């Protein structure tokens, strides 16, 4: 009866508590009953849907009816606006790479055309051309680029030897930095803004090193038999020596920079010559040297080369100013510098071929004619002796400074050793005496200045 009235007035029915059988352990929820794994039939029409599985179950892989999220659909979560940076950078990288490859190939092709035009002249004058002594020009066929060695992407070098009066000749072809257009543009702009910066240019520079009577010292031998054969071979040869001098024909546009860059040319005086074109001048240590070396053939070759000619130098002094006596050792050389034409056709080198061929034969002319009067030789020798005296004086000053520093170092070591053996009071007195001596020396200096 009581239960009936309680149900009418909404009173909740009391719930009987279950007896606690184990007070020492917490009540854990019971594990869910295992659910069987769903294996879809092979028929695609019976593919499962999301409603076929409970919420805690993972959908089987490959269920076609379940859509992918936007994380996997890249085209839904991105737009072309997200790739603007890549769209600007990638074409720029491709362009730079293409220009780099094109520039290297262009430089290699131009250097190959240069050596093809000059290789016959080198072969006529030298027994060995190129770095591979086992090959002659006939072994290269029509492609003479194998005679060159790549030093950098803009500089190619070659070498020739095996000629009377000449130890060897080094040839360098310096081209534009076509493989790096940004650097080339920057150098061009800076050359317009600053006079001290030379504009980029393409030049050929060749240097002949003369024997100067030292064949026995310069020609290498491997055995005593070769040494005896060398002595007998050189015994009948005429003397390949000639008088030392610094003499040059220079294009006037190159004169200022050349005098600043080269120490040897700074020893000369600049004079115009009536036989030379107006754009060229002579730099010489003596007028007799000019009259001896300025031949008719050289004048014609220089005039024909025109603006492609930069300078021709005969020297025995170093390029950089020597700082020590051993750096001022004379070494006789002949140097030629020519601008390369913009055209890549072999006929573009015809104007400069006469001066190049004259340059290769110039050691013979020097050996035959460069023997000056005693007065001229003494004047040239006096210039070199004066420079040697300056170097010797500077060298002696450096040695005296080194001796002074060494003496001070030893004196300091003796003082420190003596100071360590003293007591604290004796060290204090010792330092006070040193301080007083230093003050007296300073007072004497001040009184002398006054």
pLDDT digits (tens, 9 = 90+) for 388-412: 888 888 888 888 888 888 888 888 8
Nearest to 208 by CA among 352, 337, 298, 299: 337
pLDDT given at position 349: 93
b/e burial code for range 163-199 (CB count within 10 A of at least 16 → b): bebbbbbebebbbbbbbbbeebeebeeeeeeeeeeee
Q: Which helix (H) or strand (E) holds 400?
A: helix 374-420
Mean pLDDT over 220-228 rounds to 63
Nearest to 198 by CA among 107, 314, 334, 310: 310
Q: How far is CA 376 from the centre of its chain?
A: 41
pLDDT given at position 194: 87
Mean pLDDT over 100-123 rounds to 91
Residue 61: pLDDT band by 50, 70, 90 thresholds?
Answer: low
Residue 283: pLDDT band by 50, 70, 90 thresholds?
Answer: very high
pLDDT score of 24 more than 80: no
Question: Quick one: tokens of 365?
Answer: 């002319």
Highest mean pLDDT among 80-84, 142-146, 214-218, 441-445: 80-84
pLDDT, tens only, 135-182: 666 666 666 667 888 999 999 999 898 888 899 999 999 999 999 988
Strands (E), 122-165: 128-129, 149-152, 155-163
Instruction: Sort residue 62 into left (φ over 0), alpha (ψ -120 to 50) or beta.
Output: left
Query: Is residue 63 within 8 Å of residue 46, measured between CB atoms?
Result: no
Nearest to 290 by CA among 317, 256, 255, 250: 250
Weakest-pLDDT range from 92-106, 110-124, 207-221: 207-221
Nearest to 125 by CA among 164, 78, 156, 97: 164
pLDDT given at position 46: 46
Cα-based distances in Å from 175 to 56, 73, 95, 120, 344: 74, 53, 21, 22, 13
pLDDT, tens only, 310-369: 999 999 999 988 888 778 888 899 999 999 998 888 889 999 999 999 999 999 999 999
pLDDT, tens only, 287-312: 999 999 999 999 999 999 999 999 99
Mean pLDDT over 17-33 rounds to 50
pLDDT score of 380 more than 80: yes
Interatomic CA distance for residues 333 and 238, integer angstroms: 19
pLDDT given at position 417: 84
Average per-residue pLDDT for the chain: 80
pLDDT given at position 291: 92
Question: Quick one: tokens of 368?
Answer: 């035959």
Mean pLDDT over 127-136 rounds to 76
Residue 38: pLDDT band by 50, 70, 90 thresholds?
Answer: very low
Looking up tokens 């257009």 gives 181
Question: Quick one: tokens of 176?
Answer: 């534009």
Of residues 368 and 444, the one with the higher pLDDT is 368
pTM beyond cutoff 0.75: no
């Amino acid at each position: 009866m009581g239960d009936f009235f309680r149900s009418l007035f909404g009173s909740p029915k009391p719930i009987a508590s279950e007896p606690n059988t184990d007070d020492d352990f917490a009540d854990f929820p019971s594990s869910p009953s295992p659910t069987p794994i769903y294996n879809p039939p092979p028929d695609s029409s019976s593919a499962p849907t999301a409603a076929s599985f409970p919420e805690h179950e993972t959908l089987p892989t490959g269920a076609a009816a379940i859509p992918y999220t936007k994380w996997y659909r890249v085209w839904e979560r991105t737009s072309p606006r997200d790739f603007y940076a890549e769209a600007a950078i990638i074409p720029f990288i491709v362009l730079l790479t293409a220009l780099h490859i094109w520039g290297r190939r262009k430089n290699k092709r131009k250097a190959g055309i240069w050596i093809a035009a000059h290789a016959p002249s080198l072969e006529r004058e030298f027994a060995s051309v190129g770095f591979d002594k086992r090959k002659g020009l006939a072994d290269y066929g029509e492609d003479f680029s194998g005679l060159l060695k790549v030093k950098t992407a803009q500089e190619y070098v070659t070498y020739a030897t095996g000629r009377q009066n000449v130890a060897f000749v080094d040839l360098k072809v310096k081209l534009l930095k076509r493989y790096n257009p940004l650097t080339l543009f920057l150098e061009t702009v800076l050359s317009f803004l600053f006079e001290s910066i030379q504009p980029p240019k393409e030049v050929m520079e060749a240097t002949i090193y003369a024997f100067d009577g030292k064949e026995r010292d310069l020609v290498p031998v491997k055995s005593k038999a070769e040494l005896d054969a060398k002595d007998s071979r050189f015994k009948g040869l005429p003397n390949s020596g000639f008088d030392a001098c610094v003499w040059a024909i220079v294009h006037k546009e190159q004169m200022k920079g050349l005098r600043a860059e080269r120490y040897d040319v700074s020893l000369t005086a600049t004079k115009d010559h009536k036989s030379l074109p107006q754009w060229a001048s002579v730099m010489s240590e003596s007028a007799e040297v000019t009259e001896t070396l300025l031949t008719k053939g050289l004048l014609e070759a220089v005039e024909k080369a025109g603006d492609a000619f930069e300078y021709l130098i005969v020297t025995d002094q170093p390029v950089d100013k020597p700082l020590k006596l051993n750096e001022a050792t004379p070494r006789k050389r002949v140097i030629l510098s020519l601008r390369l034409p913009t055209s890549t056709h072999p006929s573009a080198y015809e104007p400069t071929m006469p001066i190049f061929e004259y340059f290769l034969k110039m050691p013979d002319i020097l050996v035959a004619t460069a023997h000056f009067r005693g007065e001229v030789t003494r004047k040239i020798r006096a210039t070199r002796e004066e420079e040697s005296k300056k170097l010797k004086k500077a060298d002696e000053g450096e040695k005296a400074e080194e001796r002074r520093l060494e003496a001070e170092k030893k004196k300091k070591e003796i003082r420190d050793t003596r100071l360590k053996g003293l007591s604290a009071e004796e060290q204090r007195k010792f330092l006070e005496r040193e301080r007083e001596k230093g003050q007296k020396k300073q007072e004497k200096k001040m009184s002398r200045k006054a």
